[in-house]
Amino acid sequence: MPVARVALDVPLPKLFDYACEAAPPIGARVLVPFGAKQVVGVVCEIARASEVPAERLRPLGRVLEDTPPLPAEWLELARFASDYYQRPLGEVIAGALPPRLKRAEPLRARAAAATPSAETRFTPGPALTAAQIAAIEALQSALGRYAAHVLYGVTGSGKTEVYLHVVRAALERGTQALVLVPEINLTPQLERELRERFPGVAIALAHSGLADTARARAWLAAQAGGARIVLGTRLAVFTPMHALGVVIVDEEHDASFKQQDGVRYSARDLAVYKAHLARCPVVLGSATPSLETFANALADRYRLLRLPDRARAEAALPTVRLVDTRRDAPADGLAPAVVEAIGARLARGEQSLVFLNRRGYAPVLACSACGWVGDCTRCSAHLVVHLGERRLRCHHCGLEAPVPRACPNCGNVDLTPFGRGTQRLEDSIVARFRDARVLRIDSDSARGKGRWEAMLRAIRAGDVDILVGTQILAKGHDFPRLTLVAVANADAALMAADYRAPERLFAQLQQVAGRAGRAELPGEVLIQTRYPEHPIYQALVAGDYERFARAQLEERAAAGFPPAVAEAVLRAEARELDAALAFLAHAITRAPTAADDAALFDPVAMTMPRLAGWERAHVLVQSRSRRALQNYLSEWIETLYAERAPRGVRWHVDVDPVEF
């Protein structure tokens, strides 16, 4: 009797064997008895016999036939993620499946949609630049085989147009395209563009904003091949595809591609592997490629395609100027030079954007009498003042409290908001520019169905003079009348004790700077800083990402940081920090010895030790080679799985971590 080896959603690094009369297809969803319950799993292997004694084998429940078996290539990607990210296959599969398919109730078949036409219609776009044509030709010639490309194009250089042409070429070969974007807000705009340019082509969306049934149906349409284009966020990388022909990762440098809980995968890295499995090209697009990606390009593992100029001949890159706030002191957050520049735009009927990457009214509420500070009880963070709703909010765990009328410690009624968020900045800008139409855009003001889209329309229609916003505004949008970007408080990010901080700050500022002057009007960027001589700001003024990236890579190599080395952490979480640290101290004694190709560091609390009531600490592991790191980790955690973690302590491995 054959044995079905089934992946189940349990934190155990193994498959579970079930007896069956006839072997179910590999990749089938099945309902199986597990302990006292019936659970949904996925058949990963068929074996002739099991190591489990026959009397303990239970019969496979039933095969769930409302969906076809998952393709071998899909299982292969899950298996790769399981090995690379050191998580049991069952957990990887459970994290990859849309929630609706983790339930046994059959998904009702939907009336077949109109059959997609055989031929691909493509609405012509703007005339292409020579650089765009060269990039498109290079990508087209790579169709049908695996090849990784970095599309390094300055803001406004028309990367999207390159994507569209490559998607077209993939569709014309009868294959599908997978397009990943970092944030859910970026999907509507790209979806609209895809629908306009590919009329009649079925597009499937894959992101967490979809209803469960819609997400499952999109998944099935992609697997069956009816959906020709799949567009989504990081989770879309797990969409099974019938005939994948090209993978595109837009804004590939963006940290959102790294999943920060559960299976901590990088969708960008898995996208590259997915393309490898499908033998198709992958395009990693960015104006500021991640250092990992840039290093791969320099090492000729990825082919570098440059778009050095803006696509519209009349649109020049914005000039970047530093405003030294030691000399030009800001009032209410804006230096006189910035106020003057905004005033000039108002006079000319142009738009300004004031960028402040901190939402809320003020980041801290404090008592001037006794020094009390409004802190989150669950996180090592201050509560942020949201004045409109009169609430204090933790931006990490979502905890909310009313703004206290008096100091909870000493009763003083004079509580002071310290610092400045977008709400406060908006207030002072409204007060200063009385006749201007000011719009604040951050994830608070954009919440609610259709709000974000409506705001974008208002900006494009010219109904707004001054925008105040966070990075939600920074990505991928074209505002033709926007000619000034002022960065209110860039220096905050310089203080971060994180070797990735310079890279992130550069990318963010370059990104937001790129909103200025995308049409015929010239753009200007003003960055307020106390450290105008800092190399990051100098690099931004020079507009020289490549030089900055090379310098950063040298620094990283000299200091022994990625991408010169591969990193992972073993992280522990507990109610008390000591319990987490004690577990790690014990775990270290179980680590493989005699490994001269991996270095283990001491257990330390994380930079933000407490999150949502859990105290977090970790042990860093570094290695010259990814393969060696992987072997080291799997050997190590095999012993940890075999032991039981102390009560109240949970642990996981984070490979290629971005949070320390």
Partner DNA sequence: AGCACGCCGACT
Partner DNA sequence: GTCGGCGTGCTC
Residues at the contact surface with DNA, assessed by CB under 7 A: 10-12, 14-19, 32-37, 50, 52, 56-58, 644-645, 647, 650
Closest to DNA by CB, 37 vs 447, is 37
Q: Which amino acid is at 483?
A: T
Closest to DNA by CB, 442 vs 573, is 573
Cα Rg, the chain, nearest whole Å: 26
Closest to DNA by CB, 40 vs 177, is 40
Distance CA 251, CA 553 (A): 20
Closest to DNA by CB, 56 vs 447, is 56
Helix (H, G, I), strand (E, B) or coil at 170: helix
Taking the complex as a whole, how short is the minimal distance between the CB of residue 270 and DNA, in angstroms? 23
CA distances from 629 to 14, 595, 653 (A): 21, 10, 12
Residue ranges with strand state E in 60-158: 62-64, 147-153
Distance CA 254, CA 181 (A): 9
Q: Answer whether 367's CB lies under 8 Å from 409's CB.
A: yes
Encoded tokens for 411:
């009763």
Distance CA 67, CA 223 (A): 10
Closest to DNA by CB, 553 vs 574, is 574
Closest to DNA by CB, 34 vs 74, is 34
Taking the complex as a whole, how short is the minimal distance between the CB of residue 322 and DNA, in angstroms? 50
Transcribe 270-284 into DSSP letters.
HHHHHHHHHT-EEEE
Phi-psi category of residue 571: left, alpha or beta, with phi > 0 → left and psi -120 to 50 → alpha: beta
Start-to-end CA distance of the chain, whole Å, equals 50
Taking the complex as a whole, how short is the minimal distance between the CB of residue 631 and DNA, in angstroms? 24
Distance CA 77, CA 59 (A): 28
Closest to DNA by CB, 33 vs 200, is 33
Taking the complex as a whole, how short is the minimal distance between the CB of residue 650 and DNA, in angstroms? 5
Closest to DNA by CB, 308 vs 648, is 648
Taking the complex as a whole, how short is the minimal distance between the CB of residue 16 and DNA, in angstroms? 4
Closest to DNA by CB, 467 vs 649, is 649
Taking the complex as a whole, how short is the minimal distance between the CB of residue 647 and DNA, in angstroms? 5
Q: Which amino acid is at 574?
A: A
Note every long-range contact of 108-114, with CB atoms under 8 Å and residues 24 or more positions apart, other chains counting.
109/66, 110/217, 113/202, 113/221, 113/226
Helix (H, G, I), strand (E, B) or coil at 449: coil
Taking the complex as a whole, how short is the minimal distance between the CB of residue 23 and DNA, in angstroms? 15
Please state the three-class secondary structure of 471-537 as a single string: HHHCCCCCCCCEEEEEECCCHHHHHCCCCCHHHHHHHHHHHHHCCCCCCCCCCEEEEEECCCCCHHH
Residue corresponding to tokens 């610092």: 419
Closest to DNA by CB, 122 vs 641, is 641
Q: Answer whether 29's CB lies under 8 Å from 101's CB.
A: yes
Taking the complex as a whole, how short is the minimal distance between the CB of residue 10 and DNA, in angstroms? 5
Whether residue 188 is preceded by a cis peptide bond, meaning omega within 30 degrees of 0, is no
Closest to DNA by CB, 17 vs 426, is 17
Taking the complex as a whole, how short is the minimal distance between the CB of residue 25 and DNA, in angstroms? 19
Taking the complex as a whole, how short is the minimal distance between the CB of residue 57 and DNA, in angstroms? 5
Closest to DNA by CB, 19 vs 277, is 19
Torsion, CA 19, CA 23, CA 27, CA 30, rounded to 10: -50
Distance CA 534, CA 553 (A): 17
In eight-state DSSP terms, residue 419 is S
Taking the complex as a whole, how short is the minimal distance between the CB of residue 377 and DNA, in angstroms? 20
Residues 6+ apart with CB under 8 A from 652: 87, 264, 570, 571
Q: Answer whether 246's CB lies under 8 Å from 235's CB.
A: no
Other Cβ atoms closer than 10 A to 647: 7
Distance CA 27, CA 75 (A): 7
Reported as type and span, the H/E element at residue 159 is helix 159-172
Taking the complex as a whole, how short is the minimal distance between the CB of residue 5 and DNA, in angstroms? 7
Distance CA 462, CA 460 (A): 5
Closest to DNA by CB, 557 vs 645, is 645
Distance CA 353, CA 639 (A): 54
Taking the complex as a whole, how short is the minimal distance between the CB of residue 52 and DNA, in angstroms? 4
Closest to DNA by CB, 39 vs 267, is 39
Taking the complex as a whole, how short is the minimal distance between the CB of residue 101 and DNA, in angstroms? 18
